[in-house]
Chains A and B, each alone.
Chain A
Amino acid sequence: MPRQQIVSPLPGTFYRRPSPDQPPYKEEGDSVEVGDTVGLVEVMKLFYEVKSDQSGTIGKYLVGNEDTVTAGQPLVDLGE
């Protein structure tokens, strides 16, 4: 069975937390519901929230905080 993933809707810079002095949106192992924010993508000075379109558990973040991402790049592996 293919792994379920959350992908980046846009190219840009990925952030795991809403601002540098706040905790990450999600930690690995946290449960996630449809519509939950799992990160931010900064593109051309604007910030877009990346929301999960599935429910489950955060298995693994595939990119690090402040990594450059492309549109459609998997960001998160979801577990059961």
Chain B
Amino acid sequence: MTNEDDMPIRSLFIANRGEIAVRIIRAARDMEIRSIQAYSEADADSLAVRSADASVLIGKAPASASYLNIESIVSAALRSGADAVHPGYGFLAENGDFADAVESAGLIFIGPKGSTIRHLGDKVVARTVAEEVGLPTVPGSQGRIENADAAKPVLKEIGFPVLIKAAAGGGGRGIRIASNQDEFENFAPQASAEARAAFGDGGIYVETYLRRARHVEVQIVGDGTKAVHLFDRECSLQRRRQKIWEEAPAEAVPDSIRDHLCRSARDFAQSVGYRGVGTLEFLYDSDTQKCYFLEMNTRIQVEHPVTECVTGVDLVCESIKIANGEPLNLQQDEIALRGHAIECRINAEDPTNGFMPDPGTVTELTIPDGPGIRFDSMLYPGCTIPPFYDSLIGKLIVWDQSRSATLKKLKDILGELKIGGIKTTKPLHQALVEDEDIIAGNMHTGFLDEWLDL
């Protein structure tokens, strides 16, 4: 890849941290783009800062003073002489006002337009778009409900249990499960209050609670006109609604259903003129073989490497090329699935002590290597994991020809990964990789929480 004069992006400001910042720096390097890393006072010695061509201090350690501070980030990006800003995931990645602020400053935002982020970030709007392209949604309210009384007709129609969700939600916040009318009347105001506190929007909606469903998602890429899908992932293994293990493809989904989901996801992206990489999330009920649209994430996902492994497409490079104004040169019929990939999230948490966060200094580090093995991380020997941010410190991704071969390889490779000085979720993955149900592919979104309670 070259960086010709007609390419507007010559230098890229990375408004994120941790492993995704390192991932973006690598993509920039591949594209001969200069990388400029934003960092907080807590991240001055981070791998991202050490890896980037330049770095700029954006504020104090708390995220609200640095990685969530739009004004500070935009002014630092301008001062640094960057042409574009990559938001990564989390922090401001799905904040339409941030995207607008970046573009108003005359910089390119790597991702969708602010208006698209706001539009699809409202789960009620996203459900409506999904229904328009023929994607079923989980039975529930047609739009927002204003109070418990207003929900009575829909509750009568769909029955209990129901999920009460924040219209503006994310990360499991503002979600309640109600098993009956009394619980509903109790929990609905709580969910609304929590949603207002977390997202500044108390809007809620209700949908049927599918306890045994799988979490399946489809990766899409669009250039604003044309969109393609890059097949599916299964992310059913979650602890308290946080994904911990992801696979591509979702082997439990039959090919005919996969085809329909992937094509509809592409239609969805095309119908909204989507620009950038994005993910449509679904629940899949293996018993009834029914699939339901949940929401769309308008950014790169943590688990994007499993899709890169099975399709050979570099999603971060694609997102930069699209922001550069290049038309998508991926052709749908040229994108094929090859083999199976699994990602294990390595978090600085102690799985033997209630997943208590364990920030600190990494005293020893051995990273496994070999064909089909990838470790995306923020680690180097002697690095310090600050307590201020997410506990994700690395992702071990293993690829092989089949799911069973990948599981076998993963088991060996987990044994080779050594991170000393802090507690991590590696032992959890070592137990999961040998679990009979997981080997058999019998997962659902409640699986891990039940498994951990044993």
Most A CB contacts (10 A, CB to CB) among B348, B349, B356, B387 go to B387
**A68 at the A/B interface (Cβ < 8 Å)?**
yes
The tally of residues in B whose CB lies under 8 Å from a CB in A reads 14
Chain B residue numbers with a CB within 8 Å of A66 are 62
Is A10 within 8 A of B197, CB to CB?
A: no
Is A43 within 8 A of B359, CB to CB?
A: yes
Is A10 within 8 A of B387, CB to CB?
A: yes
Chain A residue numbers with a CB within 8 Å of B388 are 12-13, 44
Is B389 within 8 A of A44, CB to CB?
A: yes
Chain A residue numbers with a CB within 8 Å of B390 are 44-45
**B391 at the A/B interface (Cβ < 8 Å)?**
yes
Total contacts A-B at CB 8 Å: 32
Q: Smallest CB-CB separation from A19: which chain B residue? A: B197
Chain B residue numbers with a CB within 8 Å of A12 are 357, 359, 387-388
**Minimum Cβ distance to chain A for residue B183 (Å):** 24
Most A CB contacts (10 A, CB to CB) among B61, B348, B388 go to B388
Is A44 within 8 A of B348, CB to CB?
A: yes
The answer to whether A44 and B391 touch (CB under 8 A), given A10-B357, A13-B62, is: yes
Chain A residue numbers with a CB within 8 Å of B197 are 19
**A46 at the A/B interface (Cβ < 8 Å)?**
yes
Task: Tell me the A10-26 residues at the B interface (CB within 8 Å).
Answer: 10-13, 19
Besides the known contacts A12-B357, A44-B391, 15 further A-B residue pairs in the complex with CB atoms under 8 A apart? A10-B387, A11-B359, A11-B360, A11-B387, A12-B388, A13-B62, A13-B387, A13-B388, A19-B197, A43-B359, A43-B387, A44-B359, A45-B389, A45-B391, A68-B61
Interface residues of B (CB under 8 A from A): 61-62, 197, 348-349, 356-357, 359-360, 387-391
Interface residues of A (CB under 8 A from B): 10-13, 19, 43-46, 66, 68
Instruction: Show 21 A/B contacts (Cβ-Cβ < 8 Å), sorted by A.
Output: A11-B360, A12-B357, A12-B359, A12-B387, A12-B388, A13-B62, A13-B387, A13-B388, A43-B357, A43-B387, A44-B349, A44-B357, A44-B359, A44-B388, A44-B389, A44-B391, A45-B389, A45-B390, A45-B391, A66-B62, A68-B61
